Amino acid sequence: MKSSTMFYILHFITRTMHPRLSRAVYFSSEPRERTSQAWVLLAICLLTFARGMQGQSYTKDMSAADLELQRKHYAEHVSSTYNFAFGQGVISVPGNAAVEGETFLQPDTFPNAKYCGHCHQEAYHQWQQSLHRNSFRTPFYRASVNILINTKGIEFSRHCDSCHNPIAVLAGGLTQNSVVDRKFDQDGLTCMTCHSVQKVQSTLGNGSYVMGVPAVLVDEKGNRIPGIPPDSEILAHLDRHSKAVMQSLYRTPEFCSACHKANLPKTLNEYKEIRAFTTYDEWQNSKFSQRNPLTFYQGDFTICQGCHMKRAANVLPEPGAKNGTFVSHRWPAGNTAVPFYYGFSEQLEKTVEFLRSGNYLNVDIFSIRKASDGKLIAPLGSQSFTLAKGETVEVTVVIQNKNIGHSLVPEVRDLYEAWTEFAVSDADGKEIYHSGFIKPDGVLDERAHSFTNRPVNTGGVFVDNHKVWTIHSVAYDNSVQAGRSTLVRYEFRIPPTAQGALTVTARVNYRHLRQSYLNNVFGDNHPAYPIVQLASRTRFFNVGENPAAGQDPSDNPDWMRWNNLGISYLDQLQYADAIRAFGEVIKLRPDYADGYTNIGLTNIGWEKFGSARAALDTALKLIPGNARATFYHALVERRDGHYDAEIADLKKVVEQFPQSRDARRELGVSYYQQDRPKEALEQFQALQAIDPDDLAAHYNLSLLYRRMGMKDKAKEQLAFYKLKKVDPGAPTYSLDFLRSHPEISNESKLWHIHSDGQRTGAEDAGSLGGAQ
């Protein structure tokens, strides 16, 4: 009782002298804790009296020692009831969030967005409607995280909330007996969550940032000063404000990787580590990173912020603006559901505008093949042909992920719907064929060609409701990686009575989110969520003569159309057709070195190394030292036993592209095979620094460390390898799913055709052999 009384008295004194300090002082029901609290408070009081600083500005009246003491006290209080399910002192696991000081941080140390918005009006206005602001509170997120909380426990939600609600994680709010006021939930990722990150631990994602104690000012020596000063303090030291809240790190793709990459750790699923989404890796492998020599096309260096934080004229006052423009704090991307639900019409409009801008996708109605003669007529527009009534026609649509710096669609593909809609109508507008339509209940045609995936659990059942901790396998994943293309085949029959022109349209649509998920969130009765047409192409087929019409300016040039076809065939493992398509490329552009390289790499896949060498030699004659051709040339040298040449080639690639995963990996293998362990080790370590999840790096490092007597490191790498390696038994769950879903199973085949009769690939093994 005595200590309690002292506690109350001292608390009152402290409250009077230190209003901010008092906010961080919490009551405890435990007598022992109260005693310790009393002593803490006494110490604070003595410090304050000793310094005689009452009434001075915040930077002076709140010393670092005061703040540390407050935090210590807060952390002790939270720790007393916190569920340390994943180890004593471990705050964020199964997430990766870390915080300076490595203990709980008071939520009030994060200034709220309104505080920042007082001056940064444009940023605040944009942020309010953004996905970052709405990262936690939306029904779309809550519906799935609630299931995790209700079935496994709130402590597991630290995995999701390390990115969706970092303050809740770092404040210790995600525990059964939480003592944390959750008023910050509305702000999700508020200004000072991003602007307090001090570094990124690795590119493993799952919230792999290190949060600093929020500070909006630094002192004259550059030391961060935590606390929430009045505007006058900031205005008097704008340079120090800028140093506190802006870092060069924020302008790197690695900053985004902290959350735009995720895996499902064993601590979450009690199974093994499964990659969830890898947006950062996809960017790194894209032409926009200029880190990968193997991309099919080249592009200007563009980081995440280059597309998602573009500069635009600011409307409202914004001290962060430069020359009247401000980087977007809307982060426009693909999510139309959140602005639709909240009625954020401006954000919705900007999102749709963003999705349709940038020449991100190209839809090409590339070719037809008549069942009557089986000959391929391609590329459409440049070839004349005739069509007869009653004829069955196969149309090839090539969809190119042209300028997206990641896959179509990225991230949580089980929740998004992106698909091809293909429609044919007669001259009267009567529908002849339609794939990818929306049914009256809002559900997408199950047989649509969809760029999503189908994760399944151990029962072979689709993992609905984003219950990611139950995922054991993926039945199919038809997403299109950056810079690559995919081929979609449709077959329809021209009606015997048809006359005039048939209208053939292919489009790529996007809906955020899948209808079944929307139904799970809201029940069946909810407004229809927006479907955005991302790209489309229409052609007219005359029943009768169709003269060559020439190239449409909106289409890719013919050589690129063939190239995209070749890439599609290559990804579908149809090597002969791919080589023929790439052959058409070099007919049209004999100076195009990549055309020969494409033939070379296809032949390597087909294990025709002699042909591969000839094509690659031609490419290297056209562009000596070309990294892409040199890389594949090295693989041919390896096959032919020319090990010195193989290593020399790969070294050249690494010199040009030191962050190339593939070159590092293959050079590591080369050195390993040549019994040069130190050099191999160097390459695999470099590879692991680029991609900490690379399995080859884990495996080979385990061997090399063991050989060098570093048993602990070897053991660690082997453990990672086992943890991350795909379970060879898992595909059986995919097969269970596909067997029970024939309407979808066609999609899992590399080669399939969409038709009214649902003809399968096996029935029509036709190839490009008859190309004109």
Partner 1 sequence: MNNVCRLVCLAFGLVFIVPGLCHAQAKCPWLNAATAVGVLGGEVELSVSSRPEVPAAPSQYSATDQRADRFDVTCDFRRKVGDHVYQLQIAVNTLAHPSSDFPTFLARCPSNVALTAIGNEAVQCRVGAGAETSSPLTEKIIGRVRNRAFVLTLDRVPEVTVKSDENGLHEDTRNLAEQVAGSLF
Tell me whether residue 124 or residue 569 sits nearer to partner 1 (CB atom): 124
* Residue of 381, 757, 754, 400 lying closest to 538 (CA atoms): 381
Piece of 94-102, 173-181, 348-356, 658-666 that binds partner 1 (CB under 8 A): 173-181
**Beta-strand (E) ranges in 514-639?**
531-542, 544-546
Distance CA 164, CA 142 (A): 10
Q: What is the chain's Cα-based Rg? A: 30
CB-nearer residue toward partner 1: 19 or 728:
19
Which x/- pattern over 150-169 shows residues binding partner 1 (rule: CB under 8 A)?
xx------------------
**Which CB sits closer to partner 1, 150 or 772?**
150
For partner 1, give the closer residue by CB, 139 or 319.
139
Distance of CA 356 to the CA centre of its chain: 19
- Binding of partner 1 by 465 (CB under 8 A): yes
Query: 121 to 140, contacts with partner 1 by CB under 8 A?
Result: 137, 139
At 316, is the secondary structure helix, strand, or coil? Answer: coil
> Is 177 one of the binding residues for partner 1 (CB under 8 A)?
yes
Hey, what amino acid is at 45? C
Secondary structure element (H or E) that encloses residue 367, with its range:
strand 361-370
DSSP category for residue 40: H
Q: Which is nearer to partner 1, 154 or 327 (CB)?
A: 154
Q: How would you classify residue 466: left for phi > 0, otherwise alpha for psi between -120 and 50, otherwise beta? A: left
Beta bridge partners of 386: 545
Instruction: State which residue, 404 or 518, has the beta carbon closest to partner 1.
Output: 518
User: Binding partner 1 by CB under 8 A: which of 76, 100, 185, 764?
Assistant: 185
Q: Which residue has the tokens 């390459």?
A: 683
Name which position in 309, 398, 409, 521 contacts partner 1 (CB under 8 A). Answer: 521
Q: Report the distance separating Cα 158 and Cα 170, nearest Å.
A: 9
Question: Which region among 8-16, 276-284, 404-412, 468-476 touches partner 1 (by CB under 8 A)?
Answer: 8-16
- List the interface residues with partner 1, window 212-241 (CB under 8 A): none
Cis peptide before 728 (omega within 30 of 0): no
Site membership for partner 1, residue 632 (CB under 8 A): no
Dihedral sign (CA 702, 703, 706, 708): negative
Considering only 3, 9, 531, 645, the residue that binds partner 1 (CB under 8 A) is 9
Question: Is 180 a residue that touches partner 1 (CB under 8 A)?
Answer: yes
Compare residues 173 and 600 and give the one whose CB is closer to partner 1: 173
* Closer residue to partner 1 in complex, CB, 149/718: 149
Measured CA to CA, the distance from residue 478 to residue 480 in angstroms comes to 6
Q: What share of the chain is helix, strand, coil (3-state, %, to 5)?
A: 45, 15, 40
Task: For helices 593-605 and 575-588, give the axis angle rounded to 10 degrees.
Answer: 170
Cβ 109 to partner 1, closest distance in Å? Answer: 16
Between 166 and 410, name the residue whose CB sits nearer to partner 1. Answer: 166
Question: What's the rounded Cα separation, in Å, for the pair 158 and 174?
Answer: 7
Q: Does 146 bind partner 1 (CB under 8 A)?
A: yes
Instruction: Using the minimum distance from each CB to partner 1, give the nearer residue, 523 or 641.
Output: 523
CB of 31 to partner 1, least distance (A): 12
Q: Which is nearer to partner 1, 181 or 655 (CB)?
A: 181
Binding of residue 178 to partner 1 (CB under 8 A):
yes
Q: Give the x/- contact pattern for partner 1 in 20-59, rule: CB under 8 A.
A: -------x-x-------------------x----------
Least distance (Å) between residue 124 CB and partner 1:
15
In whole angstroms, what is the distance from residue 492 CA to residue 336 CA? Answer: 33
Q: Does 353 bind partner 1 (CB under 8 A)?
A: no
CB atoms inside a 10 Å sphere around CB 713: 15
The answer to whether residue 461 forms part of the interface with partner 1 (CB under 8 A) is: no
Q: Which of 152, 275, 526, 651 binds partner 1 (CB under 8 A)?
A: 526
Number of H helices, E strands in the chain: 32, 23
Complex with partner 1: residue 335 or 603, whichever CB lies closer: 335
Which span (183-191, 580-588, 602-610, 703-711) binds partner 1, by CB under 8 A?
183-191
In the bound complex, what is the minimum distance in angstroms from residue 514's beta carbon to partner 1? 15
Does residue 112 bind partner 1 (CB under 8 A)? no
Spatial neighbors of 538 by CB under 8 A, at least 6 apart, are 365, 503, 504, 505, 506
**Site for partner 1 contains 182 (CB under 8 A):** yes
CB atoms within 10 A of CB 629: 28
| Spatial distance between the Cα atoms of 219 and 233, rounded to a whole number of angstroms | 11
Is residue 522 close enough to count as binding partner 1 by CB under 8 A?
A: yes
Residue 418 to residue 395: CA distance in whole angstroms: 20
| Degrees, nearest 5: CA angle 353-194-264 | 85
Q: If binding is defined by CB under 8 A, does position 640 make contact with partner 1? A: no
Which segment (10-18, 253-261, 384-392, 713-721) binds partner 1 by CB under 8 A?
10-18
| The one among 55, 523, 553, 728 contacting partner 1 by CB under 8 A | 523
Residue 141: which residues within 8 A CB-CB, separation 6 or more? 135, 160, 164
Among 54, 56, 186, 357, binds partner 1 (CB under 8 A): 186
CB 421 within 8 A of CB 448: yes
* 730 makes contact with partner 1 (CB under 8 A): no
Amino acid occupying residue 685: Q
> Distance between CA 719 and CA 742 in Å, rounded?
38
For the CB of residue 135, give the shortest distance to partner 1 in the complex, in Å. 13
Interface segment toward partner 1; rule CB under 8 A; list 178-186, 189-197, 365-373, 419-427? 178-186
Our CB check for partner 1 shows the closer of 112 and 551 to be 112
Of 109, 69, 336, nearest to 211 by C-alpha is 109
Bridge partners of residue 342, in order along the sequence: none
- DSSP class of residue 633 equals H
Site for partner 1, rule CB under 8 A: 5, 8-9, 11-13, 16, 27, 29, 49, 137, 139, 142-143, 146-147, 150-151, 177-183, 185-186, 341-343, 465, 520-523, 525-526
